[in-house]
Amino acid sequence: MKKTLVGLALLASMPMFAQQKASITVRPDEGKEIISKHSYGQFAEDLGTCIYGGLWGGKNSTIANTDGYRNDVLQALKELKVPVLRWPGGCFADEYHWMDGIGPQENRPRMVNNNWGGTVEDNSFGTHEFLNLCEMLGCEPYISGNVGSGSVEEMAKWVEYMTAEQGSPMAKLRKENGREKPWKVKFFGVGNESWGCGGNMRPEYYSDLYRRYATYCRNYDGNVLYKIASGASDYDYNWTEVLMKNIGHQMNGVSLHYYTVLGWTGSKGSATQFNDEDYYWTMGKCLEIEPVIKKHIAIMDQYDPQNQIDLLVDEWGTWWDEEPGTIKGHLYQQNTLRDAFVASLTLDIFHKYTDRLKMANIAQIVNVLQSMILTKEDKMLLTPTYHVFKMYGVHQEATYIPIELDCKIMNLEGERNQMREELIDYPVLRTLPMVSATASKNAEGKIHISLSNIDLENELEVTINLGDVKATKAVGEILTSAKIDDYNTFENPNLVKPAAFDEVKVKKGVLKVKLPAKSIVTLQLQ
């Protein structure tokens, strides 16, 4: 794996509420790897109102729709240029029987969503509805197959139903249900969280099941499946090692799940009511995904030195307590400027490991966890996280540019900021650089730089050394707000939104940028 040039240095202490300084050197000549657009992927689980009430209202809905899909949500997602969408789960995937979701909608059996609140659903959103949605959005589908409670035959027939051209029973059934031509389905997950809600399996057992199930996921009529194994949670490095050893190159990719979450028992904390200490803990926990990724990649490198197996972080994001008054198990949470920083910092990290990390799917697209969009009846709003994804869209399929970064570092305190023992050899508290940054060059030669000033109080002057890069000016956008816990509501949907940014000066190969406290900026050099 290549070595990314990122260094952090602690500058001399300065008075609070003063302008802080940082420096960045960009190395465009050292950029080799392409930032996969799929690292900006989305995730839509059959959970709460993500599907029903979020993406899908049904053809008889009084809310403006196209063939049952909400027009306002559709338009917002088209503008976001979603590259890949994962469905139907999550935990739901390993209880989902796909044949219950095909045929005339009025004839489909109802089901109880046991994983998420016990909601009774009508299965009106199924295979056709999902794959047609992907076509409308111009994105690739990522299907999660049922290993936990499904059979090999069931999974094999689903692949056949979706991708076989003709001459098979499943192709015939699909045509009878109104779809003549097969869909193109590349990404296929063989189970989800098999260590937990996907079956509570041991990695050795899951490895054997994967080999069996994946064998019968065939390629039909030129459709070539990219098969994804159900990978580890967070710090479970043994799971990755067992899969690499026992499955190896029978998989194209292996997943990893990492949430910025306080813990899995008790309260996870409020999405909107938090103090400065909570905020800085969140940033530290978010950044800990980097050493986690590095350790999993190191294991993969041992068994796959040629980088033929990809790492996919197909669930990530913040996880807070559900909003008061909402249905337990529906995981509906608000989205503040704090969540926007988790998005920008995480995407910065993903870019650095793009030689191995080829997909990521934030959880989730609408109304669940760290979502892009929130809906309420006929109303819709865009979250701060949506705005980060749109601002960062310029990095998709661009060449990653290594950088050197010097900035102030905060030493975090308290037991909850102690790094996990799986990452270190001795107890140590997290440290938090006050700046995060990333840079890329697109196919037209345009360089984009994204900067995050994590500091809640201090303005930041960033000096960016461009080297041989020729630039006379820079234009960009900024995302910030008066308070870190600001968020958009249906009454005030534009409280947190991007604005034009011009606090930039270019002179003799040096870019000077003045970043307000708690701000995220993306610049294009011209």
Name every residue whose Cβ is closer than 8 Å to that of residue 522 and which is 6 or more positions away in sequence: 391, 392, 394, 448, 449, 450, 451, 476, 477
- Active-site pick, 193, 288, 322, 477: 193
SS3 307: coil
Query: DSSP labels for 53-96?
Result: TTTB--TT-SS-EETTEEHHHHHHHHHHT--EEEES-SGGGGG-
**Is 315 assigned a catalytic role?**
yes
Of 496, 466, 449, 261, nearest to 344 by C-alpha is 449
Beta bridge partners of 505: 512
Per residue, the 3-state secondary structure of 495-523, as one string, reads: CCCCEEECCEEEECCEEEEEECCCEEEEE
CA-closest candidate to residue 459, choices 90, 12, 158, 17: 17
45: annotated active-site residue:
no
Q: What is the C-alpha to C-alpha distance for residues 290 and 295, in angstroms, rounded to an integer?
A: 9
Best CA proximity match to 34, nearest among 358, 436, 345, 333: 358
Q: Which of 33, 288, 315, 322 is catalytic?
A: 315
Helix and strand counts by DSSP (H, E) for the chain: 10, 27
Closest CA to 463 of 31, 11, 30: 11
Q: How far apart are CA 138 and CA 413, in angstroms?
A: 46
- Strands 187-190 and 226-233, bridge-based pairing: parallel
- Dmax (CA) of the chain: 75
Q: Three-state DSSP class for 109?
A: coil
Q: Please give the positions annotated as active site.
A: 193, 315
